[in-house]
Amino acid sequence: MSIRSTIVSHPFTSDLVRRKAAQLCRRSDFSRSDEEDLRQDMALYLWTKARLFDPTRGNVEAFVTTAIGSWVGMELRRRRAGKRCNGYKTISLEGTLVECDGELDSLADMLGDVDGQRRNEIEAKDLIDEIVIREAFRRVSASLSARERALLRDVIDHGVAGAARLRRVSRRQIDRAVALIRERLTGKRADGGPTA
């Protein structure tokens, strides 16, 4: 007999599944007709999780109790999540008519890119701002050595800890190298004082 069959057919398992299903059916968000479905769902969950059972770490009763408890928690959260979502109403932008200056127009025609950016908290960049940023980046990049550019690229891609691991140095060495680059470019030390 496989371990799955042993766990699912264990007398403790069938008793616990029956009691948990009956408990859930007494709740207001379940009905009495759900009991058999709940039993089947719990048995299926146990069947899929039975491969995780390790007899050296505990007995069948402890494993089944923990697994069924997890399933009950997930099921209750899933049902509550569905109820929360029902509170939100979707609105068709094309099908919703809005009066503006005495005329009816669809909401889709009324909303523009600026509204979407505000809703998504995205700041729109002006073309002039984009050109200024690119020019500043080009100037800064030209003032860096190839070694400094590689260091900054590693920090951007992997973070300070990742760059330190990649380069086999300490994080303090990476922080110090970045601080020196920043001081040279801004003319200010990390503590706010001017560079010598």
Residue type, 161: A
Average pLDDT score over the chain: 84
Mean pLDDT value across residues 128-150: 88
* Residue extents of the structural domains in the chain: 3-85, 144-186
Please work out, in degrees rounded to the nearest 5, the angle formed at the alpha carbon of residue 66 by the alpha carbons of 63 and 70: 135
The position carrying tokens 């800890």 is 161
99 Cβ partners below 8 Å, 6+ apart?
A: 105
Among 101, 119, 123, CA closest to 111: 119
Q: Given pLDDT bands bounded at 50, 70 and 90, which one contains residue 66?
A: very high
Give residue 130's pLDDT. 82
Report the relative pairing of strands 103-106 and 97-100 from DSSP bridges: antiparallel
Q: What's the sign of the alpha-carbon dihedral 136, 142, 144, 149? A: positive
Q: Is the pLDDT at 83 greater than 80, yes or no?
A: no
The pLDDT, as a whole number, for residue 122 is: 72
Beta bridge partners of residue 37, listed in sequence order: none
Count how many residues are written for the chain.
196
Mean pLDDT of 159-183: 92
pTM metric for this prediction: 0.43
Q: How confident is the model at residue 64 (pLDDT cuts 50, 70, 90)?
A: very high
| Geometric angle at alpha carbon 140, from 138 and 144, rounded to 5° | 115
118 Cβ neighbours under 8 A, 6+ residues apart: none
Quickly state the pLDDT bin for 43 (edges 50, 70, 90): very high
Confidence band for 119, pLDDT divided at 50, 70 and 90: low
